[in-house]
Amino acid sequence: MMAIKSHHCCFSFIFLLLPLLLQLHSVKGDLQLNYYAQSCPNAEEIIKQQVIKLYNKHGNTAVSWVRNLFHDCMVKSCDASLLLETVNGIESEQKSDRSFGMRNFKYVKTIKDALEQECPRTVSCADIVSLSARDGIVLLGGPRIEMKTGRKDSKRSYLSEVENTIPNHNDSMELVLSRFQSIGIDTQGIVALLGAHSVGRVHCVNLVHRLYPTVDPTLDPDYAEYLKGRCPTPDPDPEAVLYSRNDRETPMILDNMYYKNLLKHKGLLVIDQQLTSDPTTSPFVEKMAADNGYFHDQFARAVLLLSENNPLTGDEGEVRKDCRYVNSE
Ligand code: HEM
Ligand SMILES: *[C@@H]1O[C@H](CO)[C@@H](O)[C@H](O)[C@H]1NC(C)=O
C-alpha cells in the first residue's frame, strides 16, 4: 500500500514539474502580446495604417489578408512560407491549384516596406500575415481579435504539402473536419472559419460542375440560373476572370449572411453547401445564421487558433527583409 502511494506521489510530482522544466530548457520563444514593444514599438500601428490605406484604395486587399492567413497557417506553420516566390530552387506555394484566385500579394510589399523604413529587419513577414488578417477582419466588419506576435519566417516553401493540408472545394466534410481538427480547431470553430466565404469571390472553374450538364439538386434553382448568367459556359478558360461574388447581399462584410444563404441553398462551393447537409455541422450553421454575435465570437476564437498554429519562434527561421525571398547569407 505504502509503496504504491509514494510511487503515485512522485509520479504526479514529476508530472507537475515537467511543463516547467520543459519551459526552462526551451530554446523556442513563445508568442507574446506586443512582442515588438521594445524593438519596434510602432510595428502594429504601422501595419494597421497600411492595411487601412490599402483597403481604401483596393477594398479586396482586406479579403486577401484573410485568405492568406488560412493558406499560410494551414500549411505546416504560420511562417510566411506562402509568400515566397519561385526563384533559386524555391517553388512557390502560390503555384498550387489550391491557391487559385489568390491576389494582392504585391501589396504585402507595401506593408513590409513601411516597416523596413522604421525598423529594418525586425518585424517578420509571418507576423505581417497574421496582423494584416486581424486588421482586415475589422475593416470587413468582423470581430476585433487580440493576437500575439513573435513568429519567425521560414527559409523554405512547402508546395508539395499544400494539397495535403488545404482542402479542395469539393472534398468531403469528413476530410475537411479532420484537416482542421489536426491543428486543434473544433467543429464549431471550423464552421465559423468557413464564414470567411461571406466575402470575396469564386471563379467559374470552381462552380461550373454544379451547373452543367445538370444543375446540382442541392442548389436553389433560381440561384443556379443567376450563376449560369455569371458563368455562361461549362468550360471556362481558367485564365479568364469570370467569377461570382460569394454573397450578393453584403459582399464586403464578414457577417452571418453566409449562413443564411446556406440555409437557402445558395452556397457557392460544394463544401459550403455541405455545411448544412452534414449533421455534424448543420446545428452550428443554424446557430450562426440566427446570431451574428455568436458567429463573430466563434470566428475570433478559431482565427486565433489558426494564427498560432505551430509558429517558428526564438532563433528558428529568420526575419525576411523582402517577404518574397529568403535572406541571402
Ligand atoms: C474547406 C476549407 C476551404 C476550402 C475548400 C476553400 C476553398 C476556396 C475556394 C475554391 C475559393 C475561391 C477561389 C477562386 O475561385 O478565386 C476560396 C475563396 C476564399 N477563401 Fe476559402 N476555402 C476554405 C476555407 C477558408 C478559410 C478557413 C478561410 C479564412 C479563414 C478562407 C478564406 C477565403 C477567402 C477570403 C476567399 C475569397 C478570396 C478572394 O475573393 O480573393 N477560406 N476558398
Ligand atoms: C473535384 O474537383 C476537381 C477539379 O477542381 C476535379 O478534378 C475532381 O475530379 C473533383 N472531385 C470530385 C470527388 O468530384
SS3 203: strand
Confidence of residue 94 (pLDDT cuts 50, 70, 90): very high
Domain positions in the chain are 43-165, 173-307
Residue range 121-164, pLDDT digits in tens: 999 999 999 999 999 999 999 999 999 999 999 999 999 999 99
Ligand 2 pocket test: pick from 99, 208, 209, 269 the residue with the most ligand atoms within 8 Å of its Cβ: 209
SS3 83: helix
Find residue 55's DSSP bridge partners: none
Nearest protein CA to atom 33 of ligand 1, as residue: 67
How far lies 263's CA from each of 40, 72, 247, 259, 285, in Å?
Answer: 46, 30, 13, 6, 8
Ligand 1 pocket test: pick from 58, 70, 103 the residue with the most ligand atoms within 8 Å of its Cβ: 70
The model's pTM: 0.92
Q: Tell me which residues have their CB closer than 6 angstroms to ligand 2.
A: 168, 170
How much of the chain exceeds pLDDT 70, in percent? 91
- Specify the pLDDT at position 328: 86
> Average model confidence (pLDDT) for the chain?
92
pLDDT at 3 over 50: no
Nearest protein CA to atom 4 of ligand 2, as residue: 206
- Specify the pLDDT at position 320: 98
* Long-range Cβ pairs for the range 14-23 (8 Å, 24+): none
- Specify the pLDDT at position 1: 38
Nearest protein CA to atom 12 of ligand 2, as residue: 170
Confidence of residue 215 (pLDDT cuts 50, 70, 90): very high
322 is in an annotated binding site: no
Atom number of ligand 1 nearest to Cα 102? 41
Question: Over 32-46, what HEC string results?
Answer: ECCCCCCCCCCHHHH
Atom number of ligand 2 nearest to Cα 170? 1
41 is in an annotated binding site: no
Alpha helices, DSSP H, located in 248-291:
257-263, 270-277, 282-290
Confidence of residue 12 (pLDDT cuts 50, 70, 90): low
234 upstream amide cis, omega within 30 of 0: no
CATH topology agreement for domains 43-165 and 173-307: no
Burial of 187 (0-12, 13-18, 19+ CB in 10 A): middle
Measured in degrees and rounded to the nearest 5, phi and psi for residue 25 equal -95, 0
pLDDT at 289 over 70: yes
Task: Find the 197 Cα to ligand 1 centroid distance in Å.
Answer: 6
Amino acid at 149: T
Nearest protein CA to atom 23 of ligand 1, as residue: 194
SS3 95: helix
Atom number of ligand 1 nearest to Cα 179? 1
* CATH no. of 173-307: 1.10.420.10
Task: Find the 228 Cα to ligand 1 centroid distance in Å.
Answer: 21
Nearest protein CA to atom 8 of ligand 2, as residue: 170
CA distance 276 to 228: 23
CA distance 264 to 276: 10
- Specify the pLDDT at position 211: 97
- Specify the pLDDT at position 240: 73
Opening angle at CA 267, ends 262 and 270, nearest 5: 120
Among residues 7, 8, 25, 71, which one is catalytic? 71
SS3 214: coil
269-287: average pLDDT: 98
**CATH topology assigned to domain 43-165:** Peroxidase; domain 1 (1.10.520)
What cell does 222 get? 433560381
Ligand 2 pocket test: pick from 98, 166, 170 the residue with the most ligand atoms within 8 Å of its Cβ: 170
Residue range 18-28, pLDDT digits in tens: 555 555 454 67
What is the Cα gyration radius of the chain? Answer: 22
Q: How many CB atoms lie within 10 A of CB 166?
A: 18
209 as an active site residue: the answer is no
What cell does 82 get? 506562402
